[in-house]
Structure formats: C-alpha cells, structure tokens
Chains A and B, each alone.
Chain A
Amino acid sequence: MNETIGYQQQTLLQRLNWQDWLYALVIVAGSVFAFIKYAHFMDAYEVTFLFGAAALISYLGWQWKALGRLVLGVGVLSLAAIAMYHGDQARATQVFFLKFLIASQSAIMWMNVLFVLAMVTYWFALYRRSAFTGRVASALTWAAVLFGFVGLMVRWYESYLIATDVGHIPVSNLYEVFVLFCLITALLYLHYEQKLNTKQLGGFVLLVINAAVGFILWYTFDRAAHNIQPLVPALQSYWMKIHVPANFVGYGSFSLAAMVALSYLLASKGVLTSRLPSLDVLDDLMYKAIAVGFAFFTIATILGAMWAAEAWGGYWSWDPKETWALIVWLNYAAWLHLRMVKGLRGPLLAWWALIGLIITTFAFLGVNMFLSGLHSYGTL
C-alpha cells in the first residue's frame, strides 16, 4: 500500500515537530505567567481573551511558521524594552536602546521608515525582475511589522507607567489604530505573498500602507497624536479588545483587495502585464481578500452591536459610524453576490473593489472627519 502514502493528508497535529511544541509551550507559559501575576486586574472575559489569544497565536504560528518567528521576535524585543524601563517612564529618552530603537515612539518610527524602504524596494524588484531584491523587500516588510508590533506592545506598557488607571490596550484612538491597520494589512499581504510565492504585488499593497504611514507622520508631528491619553468611560470595556482588531482585519483585507484590483486593472490594460501574476491569480486573490474581510467585518460589526447594547443602551442606534459600517457591509455583500451567485468575473469587479476602498476609507476616516456621533473617539 505504498502508493497510498503519497496522497495521505497529514492532520495538523501529525505535522507538528518538536519546535512547534516548544513554541506553543513558550506561548502558554507566558500566558500562565501573565495570569498568575495579573489575574486580579482582569475580569472573566479578559482571562478568556488571554488564553484565547495564546491558543490563537499558537495555532497561527503552527500554520504559518514565519508568523511564529515574528511572535517570538516581538515577545523578546518587547520584554527587553520593558526590562530596560525599570518602571520609569523617563528612561524612554535616557537609555540608548529605548531612545533610538524600541521605546514605543522610536519603534513606530522605525516601522514607518521600513515600510517606505520596503515599498521602494518592491517596486525596484518589480522593475528589475530581481528575485533577490524581492526577498530584501519582503525582509524589510517583516522588519517593519516586527517594529510596529513592538511599538504597540511597549506603548501598552508605557500607558501603565503614566498611571495604573490610564493603562490600556493601544487600540483606542485614531493614531493607534492606524498603526494597527498598517500591521494587519502588511501581515495579510505577507501571508498571500508566501502562499502564492509571488513578490510582485508588494509595491501595490505597500502603497496603501504608506498612505497610512503618511497619515501617522502628519498626525504625530502636526497634532502630537502619539501622546497617550486616558480612556473615556465608554471605551473602558473588554469589548474594545476584540471589536477593534476584528474591524481592522476587515479594513486591512478590503484595502489589500483594492490594491490587487488596481494591479488587475493595470495588467488587463497591458501595463506591467509581463511582470505581474496572471489575471486569474489576481482575480482569485482579490476574491479571497474580500471574503476574509467580509467575514471579519461582519463579526466586528456584530461585536460592535453587542458592545453598543451594553454601553449606549441599544445594539443599533443609526449612529453615523454604524450606518457607514452597514453601507460598507452592503457594498461587499453585493460584490460577493455578483461573484458567487452570478459567477461574474473581470474588470467590473476589480473597479468595484477599488471604488469600494473609497467607501471603506470614508467609513474608517471620513466619518470621524466630517460627521459627528456617538463614535467620535478619533476626531481629527
């Protein structure tokens, strides 16, 4: 029965080697340590999230080894930063490694720089058709993601240094979620980059990431938005920890889809056609990104409704942000209907995905800028 072995699919557990188990052990040990040390600050939901996150990170790290390495890197650097603080906020500007590398502000600045470099490198790789340059660009993107996550982790810690009651997870205002947006979009891209074994799309996806980087820089230097602010009462809830990240997986996926759509449209017009993946591949990727985004956006909106029911007294208030979330949802629901039920393919859907990004951006940013409502935590 030798021939059967060739097609036998191994289950996930069968595929795990000792490194995978060690990785999971480190993650779980870390969570248990956090639980023992901080359990009395957490409610039942937060304890669930802690171990849920440990399980999720283990699973994702098993499925995608590169992500596992990222998690370990973020952990090591963040813990190093925390150790260097000695519980004193002022050391952010005194200790060399903190000041120039891994204090949250520095790390996020490194993320910004690395994303810009990565974009330039990706385009250069595309232009020169150079596989090596492509690998460099990919490495730069990974480095940017590493620094971005370290920045957020250390920021989380720094918020507790300001005062215990000020401390909170850094997903509470526009500045913090923009960093999160860059990171999630980049990770989604890197996932597909590895899966499709193509680095040609990096330049496109990094366009939208670098637009966000531009916003972060403006927001930092013009508005000093990087300063950590305490949470308003409405945001003091465990819901924030799941509602916001779920939403940004959605936003990130939709952005990724739009950039793939852009490359699709260019390739179908004969621009860069020879350098980009085939139209079928692009079309398929666009669909997958929107599917992921739609699923997460749905979950995020539902979580938001549940939170609203607890904080605002109703699961749906037709607040501008809620309404725009619905519009975004309807938009992609229509897109998916046309593709899945009608079997529609081609430039029309690509245009739609690209224009969908404008609607998504308005829901994400425009509502905060032009409309007011219950959801005005990130005003410009």
Chain B
Amino acid sequence: MNPKLSFTKNFLDLLSSMRFAVSLLSVLGVASVIGTVLKQNEPYENYIVKFGQFWFALFEHLGLYDVYHSVWFLVILLFLVVSTSLCIYRNTPLMLKEWRTFKEHATEKSLRAFSHQATFKSTADYTVVKQNLLQFLDAKGFKYKIRAQEDGSELIAAKAGTHQRWGYIFTHVAMVVILFGGLLDGNLPFKVQEMLGYKRIETTDLPVSKVPAESRMSVSNPSFRGNMTLAEGATHNVAFLRVRDGYLVQELPFAIGLKDFRIEHYATGQPKSFESDLVIFDPALKEPITKTISVNHPLTYKGIAIYQSDFQDGGTGLKFNVWNLFTPNNQPQALAGNIFGEGALGEGDAQLRVEYNDFRKFNIINMSPDGKGKPHNVGPNVTYKLRDSRGQATEYVTYMQPLQIDGQFYFLSGMRETVQEDFRYLRIPADDNLSIDGFMGFRAMMLDASKYPEIAKRIAEKSLGVRGDPQMKKQFELSLVRLLTVFAKGGYSEVAKVIEKNVPEKEREASATTYIKMVNVAAYEAYNMGLELNKKPLLKNSPETERLLRDSLNAFSDMFFYGTPYYLQLNQFEHKEASGLQLTKSPGQKWVYLGSVILVLGIFAMMYIRERRIWLYLKPDAKEVHFAMASNRKNLDFEQEFNLYREQLAGIAS
C-alpha cells in the first residue's frame, strides 16, 4: 500500500474515531470554562488593571478576552464539525443497512452460539405452531421475514425498534446543522476581511459620519448583532457592533425613530416594564411602520430583529441654582445645561468645566437605618463632573429633593475623585419649608465678617443682660468674633487646629466644649439673621432647632471637604430618555432550530427505541423450534424481555 495513502487513511480514521470525538468534547468543555471564569468583553483598561501589562498582552494574544470568537476556539469547533461529519459519512451506510436488514441469512450454527437462546420441543402441528409464532411476533410489534432452508426447515427472522438506528444519524447530523447555523451567525466574514486588511475596528470615539469606510459594514453584511442608543425624538440608521476594544458601524437598510420610551414600576418601586414606541422609516414603505416593542416582545423587519435591551438618559434639559459656598452671598446664580453637554463655572484660571453625565428620574433606595424597611423612590438625581484647567475632575451626584434620614430631611450631594471610590456625601439640612435657602442664608451670615459684631452683640445681650458690665461684654464679644472668624475659615477642624496650637493639653477638652457651645449659640443667631433677611419666620428654642443647628454646623464644616466652592441645586428638568436597542440579523437561527428539532428526535430515538432481533428456526423434522434473541444494547430490560419471551414462546411452541 502506498505509505502516503495509509497515512491519510490513518488520519481520517483518527478524526472520525470515538476517542477523538470524546477528546474534542472535553477540550471544548475546558475551553468554555475559561470564558466563564475570565469575564469576557470588558473594557481593556480593566484587564490591564487586573493582570498588569505583561499578562494583559499575553492574554490578549491568546484571545482570552473574547474566547468564543478567537481563532483557536473556532478551530476546535471546526474539528468537531469535521469529526462528526466523517463519523456520519462512515457509519450511516452501516446504520441504514442495520435498519433495513432482517438478518435472515443467519445459520442454525451461528444462532446456537448466541448468549440468549433456547430450544423448544414441539409436538403440535407444524403449521399451527408456525401460525401461532407469527401471531406472537405480530402481537409484540416485530416485523419478520421467512426464509426456507435447504433441509426443509424455515427461519423466521424478526426485528423491532430498528428505527433506533436513525437516532444515531439524527443526533450527529443535528450537531453539524447546529454548528453550521452557529458559524453563519459568527463574524467570520469580518474576520476574513480584517485578516486581508480590508476592514479594521475603530477604537476612537468618533461621530458616525467621521467613521472611515474600512470600519463600516454595509447593508449586505449577512449577520450581525449590534446596539443602537436612540434618544426620544431621534432617528438613526446605523448600529454599533462591539468588537474587542473597538467598534464597527453597521449600516441599516432603514431608519428607526423613537417616539417615546416608558418605564413602568411595581408598587414596590422595582421596574415592571420597558417599552419603546418605534417608527420604522423605509423608502420601500408607503407609510412608516409604528410599533411598540418591549422586553420579550421584539419587532422583526427585513430580517433584522429589534430588541428592547436597556435605556439611558437621552439628553435631559437641566436648570440649576448655583451657590458659591465660600462667598457670603445669599443669591444663587442660574445655570442651564443638558445631559451629555457641558457648561462653565467661574472665570479665568479658576474656571471649571461642568460635564453633565447622567440624570435619573427614579431612585429606588432603602433609606431605613437597619435596611429592613421598604425601598422607595427618593426622586431625581443628577451626576456631573467638575473639571479644572489641568484636566483633573471630581465627580458629583446631587439629589434634587431632600431625603428623609432618621426623620429629618437633608439635601444630599456626593463627591468622589475616582470611579473606584464610594461617594462621600455632604448632608445639608432642609429648613421648615423643605428648602435649602435656610442653610444658605445661615452660611452667608457665618461667612460674612461684617455680621460678626451684630451676632456677638445679640449673644452678649442675651447672656449678660442689657445692663451687664460693658468691659466684660466687650471682651466677650471680641472673643466671639475671633471664634467666628476662625470657624469661617474651615469649620470645626479649623477650630480644633487653633485649640491644639494655643491651649495646653489638659484644658483642651474643656475649651473645646466651651467653643462648641459658643458656636452653637452663634449659629442660632446667624440662622435667624439669615431668616430675617429673607423675611421668613424665625427659629424657636426647641430640640428640633438644636438638631437643625447641629446639622447646619456639620454641613458648614463638611463643605470645606466638598472639593469645590460650587453647589449645584437642580431646580427644574425636562426629562428626555434614550432607549437602548439591540439589532440582530441572524440567518443561522433557523438552521440552529432545525438542528435542535433533529437533535431531540434523535436523542429520543436513540434512547427510547430499543432495537431487538428474534430468530425462530423451525425444524419440522426434529419437531423443534430454536429461539435466539439479540439486541445491540444489552441491559436489564433486554434480559427481562428475553426471559419473558422464552417462557411465552415455550408455551406456544409445545
């Protein structure tokens, strides 16, 4: 034999062998595990942070960030297709033969070598016995063929359940069909074009119109799975395909417009449904199609299925009151912007850029201290970044309405310098009208050095009486003004610094207590002066007032750690949402479903149809019937069936 031929034959034998198939299944299993342990398709920076530059590069080279689309994974799948196809090619003729044949050429000698066999003596009339035996086979669902032997004997060869053989063919064909469908839906066309240099992914953030042709997929792309973010009122005719750390632009044969996006909530606040009212614009249509899609209810048009996938802000209009926390001014500035837009605060070198990032109309939060209460909606919040001239940014999240914490209402604004951190919150107590104005008036008084003598005078009069010792009064007022000046520079922590510097260690606690008391008394006056200025009713002496002042002083002290002088209070918004759509063109789907149906049929045929064969060798001369039985799968059911048949046949034959 030609050695080259024999090598090819050996290779093909290996490919179609069971051993190879089972090994492939194992390798596929292990490869699949990798992709579940290592989170797939994350932004590449995350991987760099996690693994370091060296391992990141190695893993990227191995395609581990998108295992299931890597070349080596596809090669394994390809081998599985080849191996299974060879298996089918090699075994199908055999299976069909087994399916068809009655094996009526068995000889008496070979039957006697069977492990399951018996011989019955027959005294009854030959034709009657034969008749009864055939009836028996009929009753048990066996098909048979009778073959006369040379010596006058007859062999009845019977079979049942040979359709089982189709199970083998079906299951294996199914695998090939499913994998074929899967390959149709893979991104092979792009991969090939990328390798040949016709296409490349775009990794920079460009407007759609600027994306070059080599990163655009045409309408004729047979299969894709992309995303589209559509703001209310907007219309787009492209989708984005995420590939590794970049993207491609997929052109669509029609345009999609979003009329409205809705979220419905359960009574508990959890989201109940996401719905988008879509309009399909296509020159081929006389009238645009209007259709509402929701999760689990997509729309398919021109072979492209459009799914409700997620949602985000679509550029909500925002109006803010901006306070400069460190100037003693009581009047906020107006500021307006849009989510995804930008604005500016301040002037010259100190100017900050505002980047409006996100707006959420509903925030379902569990505010109960022990976490056991029910979560509820606390109203809108807005997330923005303040970026200085050096490009350093601080991120803020500010709630529009005051939130109730331990029975009191606070305006909350969180800040953080990096995404990894948690937000640290500034808690500004709301006044009696649930407004931030009370605190802002108080703050202005506390910062305004020209008001300190008035504050000090009021306190001195109250505590020392109108006719107190003027010298002492003067002294008292002076020390109060000094205290307020220190407090205005940095709140409690500034006071603590001064105490540390000037007071001997033993007396620090006592003096701190005194200062806190004095600051609290001053705060009462300052707050009321602020209210007076705004012509609001004054505070009365009460535990509530005490708490309000304590909270106000804390907020005042904390604002020095807020990272910016600007406090943005959202006072109006015009909500605009964007719907996240997923667009899929999947020509392989029907193949996969077809394969699935074949697979299920095959599995049931293979496992629940039992192939059994019976041979009855009738020898009229010897008045004897020889019975043999076989199955391609020997198990308990077969043993039981054989024993039962042997008994029943013994009765019939005799």
Q: How far is the CB of B608 from chain A (nearest CB, A)?
A: 8
Q: Please, how many angstroms separate the alpha-carbon atoms of A168 and B274 in the complex?
A: 18
Residues of A within 8 A of B651 (CB): 3, 6
Known contacts A327-B33, A330-B25, A367-B36: does B136 contact A337 (CB below 8 Å)? no
Q: How far is the CA of A341 from the CA of B95 in the complex (A)?
A: 13
CB distance from B91 to the nearest CB of A (A): 10
Known: A4-B135, A305-B592, A330-B32. 20 other contacts (CB 8 A): A4-B132, A7-B648, A8-B139, A9-B140, A233-B272, A233-B294, A233-B296, A234-B296, A298-B600, A299-B600, A302-B599, A306-B593, A313-B298, A315-B586, A315-B593, A316-B182, A318-B40, A318-B67, A331-B29, A338-B22
Is B18 in contact with chain A by the CB < 8 A criterion?
Answer: yes
- Inter-chain CA distance A166–B132, complex, in Å, is 65
Q: Which residues of B contact A337 (CB under 8 A)?
A: 18, 21-22, 25
B635/A284 in contact, CB under 8 A:
yes
Residues of B within 8 Å of A326, CB to CB, are 29, 32
Residues of B close to A232: CB separation below 8 A: 270-271
Which residue of A has the minimal Cβ distance to B182? Answer: A316
Report how far A230 CA is from B298 CA in the complex, Å. 22
Which of chain A's residues has its CB closest to B306's CB? A313
Give the docked Cα–Cα distance between A367 and B37 (Å). Answer: 10
Whether the Cβ atoms of B132 and A3 lie closer than 8 Å is yes
> Which chain B residues have a beta carbon within 8 Å of chain A's beta carbons?
18, 21-22, 25-26, 28-29, 32-33, 35-37, 39-40, 67-68, 132, 135-136, 139-140, 182, 185, 225, 266-268, 270-274, 294-298, 305, 307, 309, 582-584, 586, 589, 592-593, 596, 599-600, 603-604, 606-608, 633-637, 648, 651-652
CB-based contact B607/A311 at 8 Å: no
Query: A117-125, A150-158, A287-295: which lies at the B interface?
Result: A287-295
Contacts of B182 in A (CB 8 A): 316
CA distance A229 to B266 in the complex (A): 10
Q: In the complex, what distance in Å separates the CA atom of A230 from the CA atom of B271?
A: 9
Whether A313 pairs with B272 at a CB distance below 8 angstroms is no
Which residues from chain B contact A281 at a C-beta distance below 8 Å? 636
- Across-interface contacts of A372 in B (CB, < 8 A): 39
Report the minimal beta-carbon distance from B371 to chain A, rounded to whole angstroms.
Answer: 11
A166 close to B32 (CB less than 8 A) = no
Check B589 against A309 for contact (C-beta < 8 Å).
yes
Residues of A within 8 A of B (CB): 3-4, 6-9, 163, 165-166, 229-230, 232-234, 236-237, 280-281, 284, 287, 291, 294-295, 298-299, 302, 305-306, 309-316, 318, 320, 323-324, 326-327, 330-331, 333-334, 337-338, 340-343, 367, 371-372
With the chains together, A331 CA to B37 CA distance in Å? 18
Q: How far is the CB of B27 from chain A (nearest CB, A)?
A: 10
Closest to B649 in A: A7
A371→B36 contact, CB < 8 A: yes
The chain B residue sitting closest to A292, CB to CB, is: B607
Check if A323 sits within 8 Å of B36, measured CB to CB. Answer: yes
Q: Which residue of A lies closest to B91 (CB)?
A: A341
Question: Given known contacts A7-B140, A315-B589, is B636 in contact with A323 (CB within 8 Å)?
Answer: no
Given A166-B266, A230-B270, A232-B271, A313 contacting B225 (CB threshold 8 A): yes
Whole-angstrom distance between the alpha carbons of A310 and B297 in the complex?
Answer: 7
A residues less than 8 Å from B582 (CB atoms): 312-313
Which of chain B's residues have a CB closer than 8 A to the CB of A3?
132, 651-652
A-B contacts, 7 listed (Cβ < 8 Å): A163-B266, A230-B270, A287-B635, A305-B592, A313-B298, A315-B592, A337-B25
Bound CA span A342–B22, Å: 11
Cα separation A220 to B132 with both chains bound (whole Å): 64
Return the contact of A333 from the options B25, B305, B592, B634 (Cβ within 8 A). B25
Shortest distance in angstroms between A271's beta carbon and chain B's nearest beta carbon?
Answer: 23
Return chain A residues, CB-CB under 8 Å to B140.
Answer: 7, 9
What is the minimal beta-carbon distance from A200 to any residue of chain B, in angstroms? 16
Q: How far is the CB of B291 from chain A (nearest CB, A)?
A: 15
Give Cα A205–Cα B26 distance, bound, in whole angstroms: 28
Q: B394: shortest Cβ distance to chain A, in Å?
A: 29
A244 to chain B, nearest CB (A): 15
**Cβ contact of B636, chosen from A284, A316, A318, cutoff 8 A:** A284
Chain A hits for B25, CB < 8 A: 330, 333-334, 337
Closest to B28 in A: A330
**Are B139 and A340 in contact, with the CB atoms below 8 A?**
no
For A313, list chain B residues within 8 Å (CB): 225, 298, 305, 307, 309, 582-584
Q: Chain A nearest CB: distance from B79 CB in Å?
A: 14
Are B132 and A295 closer than 8 Å at their CB atoms?
no
Given A230-B266, A234-B296, A313-B298, A324–B36 Cβ distance below 8 Å? yes
Distance of A143 from chain B, by nearest CB (Å):
30
By a CB distance below 8 angstroms, the chain A residues around B600 are: 295, 298-299, 302
